[in-house]
């Protein structure tokens, strides 16, 4: 039975086959930093006199920060400037939070185990600066062949553009790519790109 296997073993089992490239999301997939990210949103809102909860951050996991801020504005009837909020949040994350993040061990171990066997990319809704620093903190920056980050494609997740861009950079057909994600927008993006996907947060 699959649930008797460790999460790492489940990933190995489910990723076996014809795949030539593994495309990993970063936040919440390789890095256990979604709680930390949520804290940055909550702190900035609090500094502006607004109380929000972390649930909305989890709900829109995978979307670029300005898109999440737009959802916060709708939900809480606030008028945060999405780009300004994103800029403040990035600085706060870098200055106070990024070094506190931990790896999602079974996903990071899976990536390490497949270096040299398949092509490896990271496809993230985060900024390139934040993603590069995150991968360095996790000790895997040099193992990743290519990155596709927020703002580097015409449309972000849940559209297929980021994953298609990664496949093109690697020179691999989308049907031969397997995506590892922790949120609905990322999975929708992968499926729209014609790729298989594994929700790492739904392993037993």
Model pLDDT for residues 104-162, shown as the tens digit of each residue: 999 999 999 999 999 999 999 988 998 999 999 999 999 999 999 999 999 999 999 99
**The pLDDT of residue 121:** 98
Q: What is the pLDDT of residue 3?
A: 55
Residues β-bridged to residue 120: 22
pLDDT for residue 180: 98
Q: What's the confidence (pLDDT) of residue 2?
A: 46
Q: Across all residues in the chain, what is the average pLDDT?
A: 94
154 token code pair: 């015409």
pLDDT < 50 positions in the chain: 1-2
Tell me the C-alpha distance between 43 and 40, whole Å.
Answer: 5
- Tell me the pTM: 0.82
Cα 52 from Cα 112, distance rounded (Å): 37
The whole-number pLDDT of residue 25 equals 97
Phi, psi of 4 (to 5 degrees): -85, -10
pLDDT of residue 76: 96
pLDDT of residue 5: 87
Q: What is the DSSP letter of 89?
A: H
Start-to-end C-alpha separation, the chain: 11
> How, if at all, do strands 21-24 and 119-123 pair?
parallel
Q: Which uninterrupted H or E stretch holds 21?
A: strand 21-24
- Residue 182 is classified by DSSP as S
Give the CA distances from residue 27 to residues 63, 117, 175, 200, 201, in Å, rounded to whole numbers and listed in that order: 11, 24, 24, 12, 12
Question: How many beta carbons lie within 10 A of that of residue 37, not counting itself?
Answer: 24
């Amino acid at each position: 039975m699959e649930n008797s296997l460790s999460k790492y073993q489940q990933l190995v089992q489910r990723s076996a086959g014809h795949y030539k490239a593994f495309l990993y999301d970063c936040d919440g997939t390789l890095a256990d930093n979604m709680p930390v990210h949520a804290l940055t949103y909550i702190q900035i809102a609090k500094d502006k006199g607004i109380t929000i909860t972390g649930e909305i951050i989890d709900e829109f996991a995978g979307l670029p920060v300005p898109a999440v801020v737009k959802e916060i504005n709708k939900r809480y009837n606030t008028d945060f400037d999405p780009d300004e909020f994103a800029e403040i949040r990035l600085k706060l994350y870098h200055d106070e939070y990024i070094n506190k993040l931990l790896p999602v061990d079974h996903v990071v171990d899976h990536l390490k185990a497949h270096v040299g066997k398949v092509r490896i990319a990271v496809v993230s809704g985060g900024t390139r600066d934040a993603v590069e620093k995150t991968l360095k903190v996790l000790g895997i920056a040099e193992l990743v062949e290519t990155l596709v980050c927020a703002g580097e494609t015409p449309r972000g997740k849940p559209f297929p553009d980021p994953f298609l861009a990664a496949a093109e950079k690697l020179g691999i057909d989308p049907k031969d790519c397997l995506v590892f994600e922790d949120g609905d927008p990322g999975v929708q993006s992968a499926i729209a790109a014609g790729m298989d996907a594994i929700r790492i947060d739904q392993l037993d």
